[in-house]
């Protein structure tokens, strides 16, 4: 069977094992989740039983712009109000 190896809420690898028990024995430092229909992949996040794809470059750029806007609104931007 295939399982995801998850650490710090990130899928780090997908491996083939004989059973969930053997996976837990082989990889005690990981959260082990069985693969169901390739629902995720390496780099995806995992929290509360759900997977989410990694952020795209566009998403990260938009996040950076939002952070700048919030800094200006909150008055924490070094260039704001000068």
What is the full per-residue pLDDT of the chain (82 aa) written as tens digits?
999 999 999 999 999 999 999 999 999 999 999 998 668 999 999 999 999 998 776 766 777 788 888 888 887 765 544 4
Residue 36 domain flag: yes
Judge whether 12 lies within some domain.
yes
Assess if residue 7 is contained within a domain. yes
| Structural domain contains residue 49 | yes
> Domain for residue 79, yes or no?
no
Determine, yes or no, domain membership for 62.
Answer: no
Question: What is the Cα–Cα distance from 51 to 11, expressed in whole angstroms?
Answer: 9
Q: What is the count of structural domains for the chain?
A: 1
pTM: 0.66
**Boundaries of domain holding 32:** 2-54
| Paired strand residues for 50 | 47
Cα 47 from Cα 49, distance rounded (Å): 5
């Amino acid at each position: 069977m295939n399982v995801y190896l998850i650490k710090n809420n990130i899928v780090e690898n997908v491996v083939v094992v004989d059973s969930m028990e053997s996976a837990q024995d082989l990889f005690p430092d990981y959260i082990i989740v069985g693969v169901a229909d390739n629902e995720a992949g390496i780099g995806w996040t995992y929290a509360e039983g759900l997977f989410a794809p990694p952020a795209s470059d566009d998403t990260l750029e938009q996040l950076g712009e939002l952070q700048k806007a919030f800094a200006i609104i909150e008055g924490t931007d070094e260039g704001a109000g000068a």
